[in-house]
Amino acid sequence: MPAASFKRSRRAASLSLSEIVRISEAARALRAEGRDVLTFGTGEPDFPTPPHVIEAAHQAALGGQTSYPPTQGTPELRKAIATQAGFDCDPAQVIVSTGAKQVLSNAFSASLDPGDEVIVPAPYWTSYGDIIDFCEATLVPVACSAEEGFLLTPAALEAAITDKTRWLLLNTPGNPSGAMYSEADLKALAEVLRRHPHVWVIADEIYQHIAYAPFTSFVVAAPDLAERTLIVNGVSKAHAMTGWRLGWGIGPVDLVKAMVAVQGQSTSGASSISQAAALAALQGPQDHLPTRNAAFRERRDRVVAALNAMKGIECPEPQGAFYVFPSCKGAIGKRRPDGSVITDDADFCDYILNEANVALVPGRAFGLPGHFRLSYAYAMADLETGLARIGTAVDALAE
């Protein structure tokens, strides 16, 4: 009797590689064909991990820190995270995970039931929707336009809340927009949340240290809501440690205990060596942070100016992270050199990839069509080359 064909579970039925990954793989295939393709699609700093962090990992391995770590995280690292959080918290409120993405997955797996709703301002990071969907809950997107600074307004939040709302998920500074909520913005949203005590908050603050304006954590803006807030952060972006896979959550003890239980049945504790490296990142020299931040700001300024000089492209200036999220609506409806029409943001990005050899990610991947994301976490020379190519391709479009 032949073996039965594989059948996906209901939970996994809708999951696939993100559009970001698919575009990166398409660019990789074109490079394999010999084309000089530049990829501005991924959010990974081009800086190296600081030497003192690598040395700490080396010494941890040599010193025998290679056995199973505690599921919740090593006491030393959880204490360091609590100490540098910027608000009062105890190490018992900290969970260390294999990246900030796993923190989000743990939290949603530990708290969401079928039919629950999660309010997410759009544009939003692509993985949010897939994680929520996997938990059989519903993502409730709230479109936040460029005219609104890509920020959720109190009125829009109030209108989105129902008796099924379980979480509000905020990302500041944001991916893909680079938008950042000010302290006043967060306080205004907190006023709404106080009227709805059943709604909890996840504040994804992974880009905290890549900011060009004063950063305020949600818990600092609304300390009375700490009892229903989870802060998500990590070392990946600021310390250029994406491959070390180390993130953390800070929240109420009961929530953290539930997340630890979930993590204990998936990955167990995060890598002991990565935890030693993260401890060094938090406690060691921090001089690389302002230096790299200044480099990102310089790149941002160059990218924004170049894109705004292109006909049909409008690029707001982001306040943090290392992305721009320009509108390409002015290019939609125009004709390529071959006579075919640009129909939407995905079509525009496909045109730029094939005509200019530059990989971008369409706004539809982030829940807000009509835009595209360009990451400037790349060397200035590559950005200059890529911008020139994009400009030439845009100029070639006809009315």
SS3 content of the chain, % helix, strand, coil (to 5): 45, 15, 45
Fold assignment, 51-283: Aspartate Aminotransferase; domain 2 (3.40.640)
Angstrom distance (rounded) from CA 151 to CA 73: 33
DSSP 222: -
Question: To which H or E segment does residue 276 belong?
Answer: helix 272-283
Question: Considering the chain, what percentage of its residues have pLDDT values greater than 90?
Answer: 91
pLDDT score of 338 more than 80: yes
Average pLDDT over residues 334-357: 96
The b/e string for 296-321 (b: 16+ C-beta within 10 A; e otherwise) is beebbeebbebbeebebbebbebbbb
Question: Considering the chain, what percentage of its residues have pLDDT values greater than 70?
Answer: 100
Cβ neighbors of 205 (< 8 A, separation 6 or more) are 171, 172, 215, 217, 218, 231, 232, 233
Average pLDDT over residues 65-86: 97
**Which two three-digit tokens encode residue 84?**
């540098």
What type of residue sits at position 149? Answer: G
pLDDT tens string 181-193: 999 999 999 999 9
Nearest to 325, CA basis, from 334, 313, 342: 313
Which of 25-39, 144-158, 218-232, 295-309 shows the lowest mean pLDDT across its residues? Answer: 25-39
Angstrom distance (rounded) from CA 109 to CA 259: 8
SS3 state of residue 250: strand
Torsion of CA 180, 181, 184, 188, to 10 degrees: 160
* Radius of gyration for the alpha carbons in the chain, expressed in angstroms and rounded: 22
Angstrom distance (rounded) from CA 265 to CA 260: 9
pLDDT score of 2 more than 80: no
CATH architecture of structural domain 19-42+288-395: Alpha-Beta Complex (3.90)
Residues 322 and 296: beta-carbon distance below 8 Å: yes
pLDDT tens string 8-52: 998 888 787 788 888 888 888 888 999 999 999 888 999 999 999
Nearest to 315, CA basis, from 150, 180, 173: 150
The region that residue 16 occupies, defined by phi over 0 for left and psi between -120 and 50 for alpha, beta otherwise, is beta
Angstrom distance (rounded) from CA 84 to CA 78: 10
List the domain boundaries for the chain: 19-42+288-395, 51-283
Average pLDDT over residues 143-152: 97
Angstrom distance (rounded) from CA 123 to CA 364: 9
Angstrom distance (rounded) from CA 149 to CA 177: 9
Residue at token pair 């260390």: 96
Q: Does the model's pTM come out above 0.85?
A: yes
pLDDT band at residue 1 using 50, 70 and 90 as cut-offs: low
Question: To which H or E segment does residue 310 belong?
Answer: none
End-to-end CA distance of the chain: 61
Residues 237 and 288: beta-carbon distance below 8 Å: no
- Residue 325's pLDDT is 98
359 - beta bridge partners?
39
SS3 state of residue 229: strand
